[in-house]
Amino acid sequence: MKSARSTEEIALGIRRRVFEHTIRNNGGYLSQACSAAEQLAWLYNEELHLGLSTLPMVPSLFSGVPSINNSNYKTGAGYNGPAAPQYDRVLIAPAHYALVAYATLVEVGRMAPEGLAMFNQDGSSVEQIGAEHSPGMEVHNGTLGVGLSTGAGLAWARKRRLESGRVWVFMSDGEVQEGQTWEAIQSCTHHKIDNIKVIMDVNCQQCDGAMDSVMKVGNIRKKMEEFGAVVRAINGHDLEAIREAAATPHPEKPLIILANTCPYQGMPALRARFPRLHYVRFKTEYERAKMNKDIAASLNIAPVDFIPLKSVSPTKKSSLQSSGKIKRCESNNLQSIEMVSRPYERAFIKYAESNPDILCLSADLTSSCEIDTFRDKYPDKFISLGMAEQNMLSFAGGLGLAGFRPFVHTFGVFLYRRPYDQLIASIAYPRRKVRLMGFLPGITTPGGMTHQAIEDISVMRSIPNMTILETGDATEVESICAAADSVDGPVYCRVLRGLVPRLFDTAIKIGEIRELALGKDILVVTSGIMTEEALLTRHALKKIGISIRHLHLHTIKPIDKSAILDHIASVNFGVITLENHVVDGGVGSLIAEIIADNGMDKRLIRLGLQDTYAHGGSRLYLTKYYGFDAMALIRGIEVLTGELFGVTEQDLEKVRIEPPSSIIKAEGL
C-alpha cells in the first residue's frame, strides 16, 4: 500500500508530528525524527512490499505479556501487514526510535493520529521504548545490538523456505559499539544471507552526546566491508541517493546502507542544544516557548499550543522522627516528607573526591545515572565505554585487578542480563572490588521489559561472593557509595534516581535491618520503593488498631537471619513481603527460605510480580496493575487477620508521598 503523498511530504509530516508531541509533552525523541524521517518515509512509502494492516487504526490497549494463559496477546507486526511469504518484514532495531516509527505509521495511513496521542500513557501498547506488542514492532529491540541478529535469523529462515519477501532492518549507528552487531554481520556473510538489507541512521549522536565523545568507532564502512558486507555510504536526507543505494547488487552478502544524517535536519534551532540531543526535554518555559516558535517556523507550521509546566513544590521538612534504631512516622500526612533531587549525583562526587582509587565507568547512560557532573568535574577519573556492557564488566575486572575500585554505572538490566558470563568470570569469582550501580530497579521505568530489572536480586543472590544493597530513600542513596565501598568484594546496588523521598535519617550499615515499627500482629518486610507503599498502609490502618511490625531491608545479601527469625516469632498472624521484583528469588523467597530452614509455622504472603514480565507504564500504575501496591498490602493483611477494614484508594491518596517527578530527570530514560 503506497500513499498518494510524496515521500518528501511524509518525511516533513513525521518531523512535524514528533515536534508537536515533544512540545506538548515537554519531552520526546526529537533529534531522531530530524535524522531518520527520510529513511523511514522512504521505506514505508516506496521500498517495503507490505500488505494491508491487520490491526485497528487506533491501537488496542495493552493486553498482557506473552503467557500460556494469555490468548489475546498480539505483536505490533500487524501494522506492517500480514507475515505472508511474498511480503517484506521490517525490524526497528533501536526501540527508542519508537516515537518516530509511530509517527511514520500515522503519516502513511497505517495508524490513526489518536494512536500517537497514546504514546507512553499508562495501559497503552504505544510504549515509549517500542515493545513487540507496540504498533509496527515485531520483536523486543530495547536492548541495542539485538535487532540485526534477529533479522539475520529471520532472513536465513525465509531464504531456506524460498520466500520472496525480504527482511529490512533499520538501525542506529551507536549499535556498532555492541559486539553483537559485528557477530551478526559475520553470520550474514558466512551463511550468504542476501535477502536482508540494512539502513543505518548515522547521525553521530547517542545518549551521552556526540558519538566520538562516547566511544570512537573509526571507519564503520571499512570495517563492515572487511566483515564481508556490501556497504554504501550516502547522504541520508537525499532520497535519490537512498533509492540508488538500495538498488545495489549484493549476491550472497548483506547490503548495508550507511545513511549519514544531521540530528537537527529541518529544525536548525535544535543545534543550540548540541551535543545534548538524544532526548529533548525543556528545562524552562522560556526555552520551551522559544524552541516552539523557532522550530515551528522552520517546519512552516503554527506554534504548538501547550500547557505550561507545573512548578515543583518547594522542599518540605521530613516528618519522620527516630528514636534509636526504631523510626516511627508521627505525621498523618506523608506528603510533608522531604523530596530530594538527584541525591546520587552529589553523593558520588563527595565520596569519590576523598578516595583517589575510585574510578567512574559509564555505558552511554551518564546523565541518566546522574554522573554527568562528575564526568565534567573529574574527566581523568571518568571512563566512557559506550554501549558495550560485556566489555565494560571485564574492563572493570581488570581495573580491580590493578588495585582500583571502579564504580560501574548503567541501568540494572545491563549489569546482569547480557554480561552474565563476564560478571561471573571477571568480577564475582575473583572477588574484585567492583561496585555495580544499577539504576531503574524493577518497575521504576516506563521502558518495559528490556529496561526493567525485575529478576536482578534472584540472579545476584545466586552468585557467590556478591553483596546486594537496595536504596529505599534519599538518605540511603546518599550513603550507598560508602556502604558499597566498605565491602571487600563485588557489590550490586539497586539505586534510585531523580526525585527521591527522605524517609530515614541514618546511613546504610551493611547487614542492618531497619525496624520501622514493632507491632505484634503482622510482620511486613519491604525493600526499596515498596517501603513507601507500606508506610501508606500503616497510616491508613493506624486508627483501626492493627499492630504492624515493619522491617525495611537495604541489605538483601548478607542478611541477619537470626534477627529475622526473632521478628517472625514475635507476631501473631504471619508475614507479608512486598518487593519491587518478581517474588521468586527475591525478598519473598529469602524470607520463605528462612521460615522453611528453621521449621517455623507461620503463614507467608509474597507480594511482587508473580511470574510475569511487566510492560511500560508509570510506577504507580504498574504496582497497582500487577497487584503489589499499598492496597494489595492491605488486602494481604485482611487475609492474614480474617478482617475487612474498608480502606479505599481515596484513603491512601490522602497520605501518598509526592511521586517521582519526570521533570527532574535529564533523560527520558
Burial class (CB in 10 A: 0-12, 13-18, 19+), 15: buried
Q: d(Cα 373, Cα 649) in Å, to the nearest integer?
A: 40
| Max Cα-Cα span within the chain | 78
Q: CB neighbours of 529 closer than 8 A, spacing ≥ 6? A: 441, 442, 444, 472, 496, 580, 619
Mean pLDDT of the 8-36 span: 96
Q: Where in the chain is the domain with CATH 3.40.50.920?
A: 324-329+513-653
98-148 pLDDT, tens digit each:
999 999 999 999 999 999 999 999 999 999 999 999 999 999 888 888 999
Mean pLDDT of the 519-531 span: 97
pLDDT, the chain, mean: 92
Identity of residue 339: M
3-state secondary structure 144-200: CCCHHHHHHHHHHHHHHCCCCCCEEEEEEHHHHHCHHHHHHHHHHHHCCCCCEEEEE
Identity of residue 648: T
Q: d(Cα 424, Cα 417) in Å, to the nearest integer?
A: 12
**Closest Cα to residue 87, out of 187, 168, 198, 193?**
168
Split at pLDDT 50, 70, 90, the class of 442 is very high
82-99 pLDDT, tens digit each:
999 999 999 999 999 999
Tell me what pLDDT residue 572 has: 96
Residue 168 sits at φ, ψ, to 5 deg, of -110, 135
303-344 pLDDT, tens digit each:
999 988 654 333 333 333 332 333 333 333 566 789 999 999
Q: d(Cα 17, Cα 112) in Å, to the nearest integer?
A: 12
Mean pLDDT of the 252-278 span: 95
39-78 pLDDT, tens digit each:
999 999 999 999 999 999 999 999 999 989 999 899 999 9
Rg (C-alpha) for the chain, rounded Å, is: 26
- SS3 state at 232: strand
Instruction: Look up the CATH architecture of domain 324-329+513-653.
Output: 3-Layer(aba) Sandwich (3.40)
Q: d(Cα 248, Cα 590) in Å, to the nearest integer?
A: 58
Q: d(Cα 526, Cα 629) in Å, to the nearest integer?
A: 11
Grid cell for residue 198 = 540494512
| Stretch (H or E) spanning 351 | helix 343-353
CATH for the 7-55+76-298 domain, from 3.30.300.90, 2.40.110.10, 3.40.50.970, 3.40.605.10:
3.40.50.970
Grid cell for residue 165 = 519477501
Identity of residue 414: F
Instruction: Look up the CATH architecture of domain 340-501.
Output: 3-Layer(aba) Sandwich (3.40)
Owner of C-alpha cell 530514560: 669
Measure the CA angle with vertex 446, ends 440 and 450; round to 5°.
Answer: 70
Residue 283 sits at φ, ψ, to 5 deg, of -85, -25
Residue 660 has pLDDT above 50, yes or no: no
Tell me what pLDDT residue 85 has: 97
Residue 253 has pLDDT above 80, yes or no: yes
CB 530 within 8 A of CB 579: yes
Helix axis angle for 30-42 and 98-107, nearest 10°, is 50
548-604 pLDDT, tens digit each:
999 999 999 999 999 999 999 999 999 999 999 999 999 999 999 999 999 999 999
Sign of CA dihedral 151, 34, 303, 95: positive
Q: CB neighbours of 668 closer than 8 A, spacing ≥ 6? A: 27, 28, 29, 96, 128, 279, 281
Tell me what pLDDT residue 513 has: 97
Pairing mode of beta strands 320-323, 326-329:
antiparallel
% pLDDT > 90, the chain: 86
Q: CB neighbours of 301 closer than 8 A, spacing ≥ 6? A: 16
Tell me what pLDDT residue 481 has: 98
Tell me what pLDDT residue 326 has: 31
Residue 400 has pLDDT above 80, yes or no: yes
Q: How far is CA 260 from the centre of its chain?
A: 28
Split at pLDDT 50, 70, 90, the class of 661 is very low
Residue 669 has pLDDT above 80, yes or no: no
**What are the start-end ranges of the H helices in 542-648?**
561-569, 587-597, 619-625, 630-641
Pairing mode of beta strands 405-411, 435-439:
parallel
Residue 235 has pLDDT above 90, yes or no: yes
Tell me what pLDDT residue 528 has: 97
Pairwise pLDDT comparison (334 vs 353), residue with the higher score? 353
Q: d(Cα 92, Cα 141) in Å, to the nearest integer?
A: 7
Tell me what pLDDT residue 332 has: 39
CB 356 within 8 A of CB 543: no
Task: HSE, CB side, 13 Å, CA atoms: give it for residue 654.
Answer: 12
Tell me what pLDDT residue 663 has: 38
Q: Where in the chain is the domain with CATH 3.40.50.970?
A: 7-55+76-298, 340-501
Tell me what pLDDT residue 540 has: 87
188-227 pLDDT, tens digit each:
999 999 999 999 999 999 999 999 999 999 999 999 999 9
Residue 174 has pLDDT above 80, yes or no: yes
| Stretch (H or E) spanning 329 | strand 326-329
Tell me what pLDDT residue 288 has: 94
Q: d(Cα 140, Cα 146) in Å, to the nearest integer?
A: 8
Sign of CA dihedral 391, 393, 397, 400: positive
Split at pLDDT 50, 70, 90, the class of 259 is very high
Tell me what pLDDT residue 427 has: 96
Mean pLDDT of the 409-413 span: 97
Pairwise pLDDT comparison (615 vs 669), residue with the higher score? 615
**Paired strand residues for 93:** none
**C-beta atoms surrounding 243 within 10 Å:** 14
Tell me what pLDDT residue 321 has: 31
Q: d(Cα 496, Cα 344) in Å, to the nearest integer?
A: 8
Burial class (CB in 10 A: 0-12, 13-18, 19+), 305: exposed
Grid cell for residue 90 = 521490517
Owner of C-alpha cell 541489605: 555
